[in-house]
Amino acid sequence: MIMSNWKHKHILDLSKFSLDDYKTVLELTTRFQDVPTTRSRKLPALQGRLVTNLFFESSTRTRSSFELAAKRLSADVQNFSVATSSLNKGETPLDTILTYIAMGTDILIIRHESTNVPNELAHYIDKHHINTSILNAGDGFHSHPSQGLLDLFTLANFFSPTNPSPNSLSNKKITIVGDILHSRVARSNLWALTGCGADVTLCGPKSLLPDEFSDFVLRPPSGQKYDPIKNRGSIVIKRSLKDALKGSDAVMTLRLQKERMHQNMLTDLDTYHNHYGITHESLKWCEKKVPVMHPGPVNRGIEISSQILEDDSISLIKNQVSNGIPTRMSLLYLLANRNIIES
Ligand code: CP
């Protein structure tokens, strides 16, 4: 298997990803897509490695597909559940995490409602010379890198089915609609899509899409000295869905994250749907047939109509779910084999 010189010990955020990193992930994901159709349906690549799924916040897709991805690479997999854990006896999250590290986990996949928990954990691990890799499965509003990468793969595969690559996204216009403010998926997609040369249009009301988002990729996280991408695509904000959809090559709509709204940020859901809902009617503003994505879970009839969800000629949502497995296989493979160059 050909790998470029992958250097990341942890995957926390896509702001540090180079064009080579995206290329490597897309290439590996393309190869891993075929694994379920092979005779053994598995690869021995992670045999003897321990992968721990540590989800402090609910998940259906991410947790299950990381589990399947690890199993398809023959890793041993542990799943942690808050409900049945010793957190209920007063153990702290850090002591819980250190318990799993003491069991010798090679890759710790973590989801937490608080921004920066995976970064702080990675910092602790490096400071204490621990070999475990941290893979962020979603922290607060901040980052959901594996979702950003599976979305990138889904789009690249749609535009270039025979050779999905960063080039497949170059100069494409991708419109992201909805609750950008509370969305770690939107933030990871902004790094990934602009990193591969796509131009992104963001659309939503000011309460869910502040003007500062147009500069999002110009502000790498604190502690990051430079942007590894020389020529990023652009980000523009449109308040009107009609203006935002005009000329789009693909549309991504996002869940209204009511659990993250600490004040009443919307007048009512019907008005929101009328202004920002993705329906067969509103998609006519694209002026051509374009695919629609949604990271899930979905609020039917709010950000997207049930008819679009069920229209397989438009919706790529099932593809996003199925592509999540080979994408996550590629991330586990790269972390487990970092610094090894094979040809
Ligand atoms: N897209 C996503 O993160 O879904 P889950 O919350 O079900 O993992």
pLDDT digits (tens, 9 = 90+) for 156-196: 999 999 999 999 999 999 999 999 999 999 999 999 999 99
* pLDDT > 60? residue 2: no
Q: What is the CATH number of domain 14-143+321-336?
A: 3.40.50.1370
What is the 128 CA–ligand 1 centroid distance (Å)? 31
d(CA 181, CA 184): 8
* pLDDT > 80? residue 101: yes
Q: What is the pTM of this model?
A: 0.95
Here the tokens at position 186 are 């939107």
Is any ligand 1 atom within 6 A of the Cβ of residue 59? Answer: yes
At 265 the pLDDT is 66
For residue 31, give the amino acid letter.
R
Cα 250–Cα 255–Cα 256 angle in degrees, nearest 5: 130
From 57, 60, 299, mutation site for ligand 1 pocket: most ligand atoms within 8 A of C-beta? 60
Which CATH superfamily, name and number, covers 145-317? Aspartate/ornithine carbamoyltransferase (3.40.50.1370)
Structural contact between residues 67 and 324, judged by C-beta atoms closer than 8 angstroms: no
Here the tokens at position 263 are 């004040």
d(CA 64, CA 328): 11
Question: Which pLDDT band holds residue 342 (cuts at 50, 70, 90)?
Answer: very low
Structural domain boundaries of the chain? Answer: 14-143+321-336, 145-317
Is any ligand 1 atom within 6 A of the Cβ of residue 295? Answer: yes
Structural contact between residues 111 and 56, judged by C-beta atoms closer than 8 angstroms: yes
At 62 the pLDDT is 98
For residue 280, give the amino acid letter.
H
Phi-psi domain of 71 (left: phi exceeds 0; alpha: psi -120 through 50; beta: other): alpha
Average pLDDT, the chain: 94
Domains 14-143+321-336 and 145-317 share a fold: yes
What is the 297 CA–ligand 1 centroid distance (Å)? 6
**Pairing assessment for the beta strands 133-139 and 173-177 based on DSSP bridges:** unpaired
At 343 the pLDDT is 36
**Nearby residues of 259 by Cβ (< 8 Å), 6 or more positions away:** none
Is any ligand 1 atom within 6 A of the Cβ of residue 298? Answer: no
**Nearby residues of 25 by Cβ (< 8 Å), 6 or more positions away:** 149, 152, 153, 327, 330, 331, 334
Question: Which pLDDT band holds residue 5 (cuts at 50, 70, 90)?
Answer: confident
What is the 244 CA–ligand 1 centroid distance (Å)? 26
d(CA 320, CA 307): 18
Helix (H) or strand (E) holding 252: strand 250-253
- Give the SS3 label for residue 64: helix
What residue's CA is closest to ligand 1, atom 3?
A: 62
* pLDDT > 80? residue 259: no
Ligand 1 atom closest to Cα of residue 138: 3
Is any ligand 1 atom within 6 A of the Cβ of residue 133? Answer: no
Here the tokens at position 38 are 């092979």
Around 316, how many Cα atoms within 13 Å sit in the side-chain half-sphere?
24
* pLDDT > 50? residue 111: yes
> Span 73-91, mean pLDDT?
95
Is any ligand 1 atom within 6 A of the Cβ of residue 147? Answer: yes
Is the model more confident about 322 or about 265? Answer: 322
Longest dimension (CA), the chain: 58
Whether omega for the bond prior to residue 44 falls within 30 degrees of 0, making it cis, is: no
What is the 58 CA–ligand 1 centroid distance (Å)? 8
Question: Which pLDDT band holds residue 339 (cuts at 50, 70, 90)?
Answer: low
